[in-house]
Amino acid sequence: MSATFLGMPGNFPENSRKAVHDSQLRFNLRKATHTIRGKRASVVGELPDWQELRAAGKAIKEHTLRNLDRYLIRLEAAVTAAGGTVHWARDAAEANRIVTGLVKATGETEVVKVKSMATQEIELNQALAEQGITAYETDLAELIVQLGDDFPSHILVPAIHRNRSEIREIFLDRMPGVSPDLTDDPPALAEAARLHLRERFLRSKVAISGANFMVAETGTLVVLESEGNGRMCLTLPETLISVVGIEKLLPSWRDLEVFLQLLPRSSTGERMNPYTSMWTGAVEGQDFHLVLLDNGRTDVLADEVGRQALRCIRCSACLNVCPVYERAGGHAYGSVYPGPIGAILTPQLRGMSSELDASLPYASSLCGACYEVCPVAIDIPEVLVDLRAKAPHAAAERAGMKVAGWIFNDHRRLARAQRAATRLRKLVPKRLPGPLSAWTDTRDVPEIPEESFRDWWERNERA
Give the DSSP letter of residue 425.
G
Restricted to residues 233-252, the positions that interact with another protein (CB under 8 A) are 234-236, 246
Cβ atoms of residues 238 and 286 within 8 Å: yes
CA distance from start to end of the chain: 75
- 108-147 footprint of another protein as x/- string (CB under 8 A): ------------------------------xxxx--x---
Residue 97 binds another protein (CB under 8 A): no
DSSP letter, residue 461: T
Site for another protein in 253-312 (CB under 8 A): 253-254, 256-258, 260-261, 264, 268, 270-280, 283-284, 292, 294, 298-299, 301-302, 304, 307
In the list 9, 24, 66, 105, the residue contacting another protein (rule: CB under 8 A) is 66
How many residues in the shown chain lie near another protein by CB under 8 A?
158
User: Alpha carbon of 116 to those of 106, 209, 270, 383: distances in Å?
Assistant: 22, 6, 20, 25
Helix, coil or strand: residue 436: helix
Q: Which residues contact 297 (CB under 8 A, 6 or more apart)?
A: 245, 246, 247, 310, 349
Helix, strand, coil share of the chain (percent; to 5): 55, 10, 35
Q: How far is the CB of 279 from another protein (least distance, A)?
A: 5
* E strand residue ranges, 131-230: 134-137, 206-209, 213-215, 220-225
Q: Does 209 bind another protein (CB under 8 A)?
A: no
> What CA–CA distances, in Å, run from 14 to 27, 63, 160, 162, 331?
20, 40, 21, 21, 12
Kindly tell me which of 26 and 174 has the beta carbon lying closer to another protein. Answer: 26
If one asks whether residue 169 binds another protein (CB under 8 A), the answer comes out as: no
Q: Do strands 275-280 and 220-225 pair parallel, antiparallel, or not at all (unpaired)? A: antiparallel
Region binding another protein by CB under 8 A among candidate stretches 102-110, 172-180, 184-192, 342-350: 184-192
Of residues 41, 134, 456, 459, which one binds another protein by CB under 8 A? 456
| Residue with smaller CB distance to another protein, 36 or 118 | 36
DSSP assignment of 12-51: HHHHHHHHHT-HHHHHHHHHHHHHHHHHHHHHHHT-TTHH
Using DSSP bridges, classify how beta strands 287-293 and 239-245 pair: parallel, antiparallel or unpaired.
Answer: parallel
Exactly one of 8, 10, 67, 182 binds another protein (CB under 8 A); which one? 67
Is position 181 an interface residue for another protein (rule: CB under 8 A)? no
346-405 binders of another protein (CB under 8 A)? 361-369, 371-372, 382, 385, 388-391, 393, 397-398, 401-402, 404-405
Binding residue for another protein, selected from 96, 146, 209, 220, defined by CB under 8 A:
220
Q: Which stretch binds another protein (CB under 8 A): 102-110, 170-178, 191-199, 340-348?
A: 191-199
Is 2 a residue that touches another protein (CB under 8 A)? no
Nearer to another protein, 108 or 166 (CB): 166
